[in-house]
Structure 1
Amino acid sequence: MRLHEYQAKGVFADAGIPTPGSEVASTVDDVVSIAERLGYPVAVKAQVHVGGRGKAGGIKLAEDSDEARDAAEDILGMDLKGYTVEKVLVEEAVDFTNELYVGVTMDRGEGKPVAMVSTKGGVNIEEVAEEDPDAIAREHIDPAFGMHPYQARKVVYDAGVDKAVARDVASVLTTLYDLWESKDASDAEINPLMVTSDDEVVAADAVLNIDEDALFRHPDLAEMEDEAAEDELEAKANEYGFDYVRLDGNVGIIGNGAGLVMTTLDLVDYYGGKPANFLDIGGGAKAERVANALDMVFSDENVDSVVFNIFGGITRGDEVAKGINEALEQFDEIPKRVVVRLAGTNAAEGREILNDELVTVEETLEGAVQRAVEYAEEDQ
């Protein structure tokens, strides 16, 4: 379960991590009233589950009431990477001299949690990891003992954090790890952790993602679930009973089985594409279920093409083919180009059934992914 920024900041503040004064608003008038109470300048920030909000126009600074009103009118109701902005966080602007990144997540390759610090905060940390991996200092933690104080200091110094704030950054990182562990989180991040001219550190953003299977241990966080899960597609996935995660790419992915879907995601990335989602329709999927899956992916405005990867075991290839045909025949015009790969039980029969005027059929997974990536690139 992903918390919104304002929810995560509430958890961080309760744990003692410094955060700016802020309030949530859902109307333009509320934004202006809150800004007046907090004092200018303020930041008006869209509360949606996407990265890169600033570049997309979802974060604006306001120096006075007119600018606050203009920012609220621009952001509230806007479509931000497929999400409709219904709430904004009005927050005291931070006069900063530097931006850091601190985070804790699970390194599945090592089988241990890892604490991370970088002096390149305020930008997409995934891009930093890809383009300049040495810019991120890492320290693996033994979960049996937790984070020792020396480990927090070590990773902060390894990152090259200024000595004037190193102790405070280490303290924030230690608290972040404690939250990650105690809240059964999958990710806990602050990006950026701002350094002020007075050498104070302030969490200007907050990420806290919770393992849904552990929510029974955290009733206070469970109460936030409905409010946090505002995305219509994810709500629809729950209604249909799909395992679904929305991503920020443009190649829609449907498969039967988590491993198969993950393999497809990896191949899309390998061939230069960007996955738009993880959607597992499960085993034994009948025609109606397949049609629902296609309806979901077609509803994502970011999707430019769809790759359908089915390996028949319990799921029969001819049933899947019927579902694809039935779903696509509902449209006067197919909204996205669909590539289908069928293998396993009744795969040959399924390929015969598929209407090749509506879909592109590929026999290999590699061929299907490459074709879907090509289609997505053509439609950009």
Structure 2
Amino acid sequence: MPQHLLPTTVVGSYPQPDWLVDRAMLSKSVPRTRMREIWRPRHEHLEQAQDDATVVAIRDMERAGLDIVTDGEIRRESYSNRFATALEGIDTDKPAMIVSRSGHQTPVPRVVGKLRRTSPVELRDMQFLRRNTDRAAKITLPGPFTMGQQAKDEFYQDDEELAMAFADAVNAEALDLQNAGADVIQLDEPWVRNNPELAKRYAVKAINRALQGIAVPTVVHLCFGYAAVVPGSAKPAGYSFLAELDDTIAEQISIEAAQPKLDLGVLKDLSSKKIMLGVLDLGDPGIEPVAVVADRIRNGLKHVPPDRLVVAPDCGMKYMPRDIAFGKLKAMCDAAARVRSEIG
């Protein structure tokens, strides 16, 4: 792990090449069930193509100067669907249909039996990442609360019991990922903001169960929705479920702050945590100047001491053109180096 102040990382994803995925199809939704038609290579060539694209993503992150890299989530159709649909107890042949808040019908995983992780899902991903970089390596998992909210429960008939079943599966996976060399493990939990009243009942309990026994640094990531899907003008001014995360056993809380222009005064409620702060606006189609990104980092330092701040973009980098994503990351790493030099 990097020893210097203000280490840099990504939330998780990085752009997938056009030769690997149908990016026009990718831009239309954030799938909760499998969307295998998104992949361009034939099935017998897909794994090799995903491996090659993953190496490209890792090298881009290294060239940009990131201290903590990921595999870019290159093998995923979305942040959550690959893991959620790999569990026993999910009917992958007959997904449920729900009506989203926008009025669109959305296919979601249908829980028809006891959830059980029968084999690793991301283990090979982590092993491949570890073999292909000597930098600190992070891998992400969908959080148990979010997966429970994204599924149609036809078995447990109890929201909390469903979330805890997902938590057990995530925990088993996280332990394997730790053993495979993960330096950081992150849970993506955007739905605690969407349903804060339910989250207040059991989200912290589910997150803590998912992270039980994990000795490496852990992160819980929140966001307001991808910039490619939710414009900045539609994002709220603050998180409806944030202070509660101080009670999790996670070391870090990751928040999106640049695009929604978040008032960072809210960070006072997370006094026991390191903060992974989003300082790149992914709703901005250009590459922000280093000076602009440096000012966002300095703004974070008004509320969090430098030994508790990790520098990152907002989430959803996979939806950007690759050259813009790389340029933004380079500007972020240069900005972090500039501010690091100012604070000694």
TM over 0.5: no
More strand by share: 1
Larger relative contact order (C-alpha < 8 A, sep ≥ 6)?
2
Give TM-score scaled by structure 1 length.
0.26
Q: TM-score, normalised by structure 2?
A: 0.28
Which entry has the higher C-alpha Rg, 1 or 2? 1
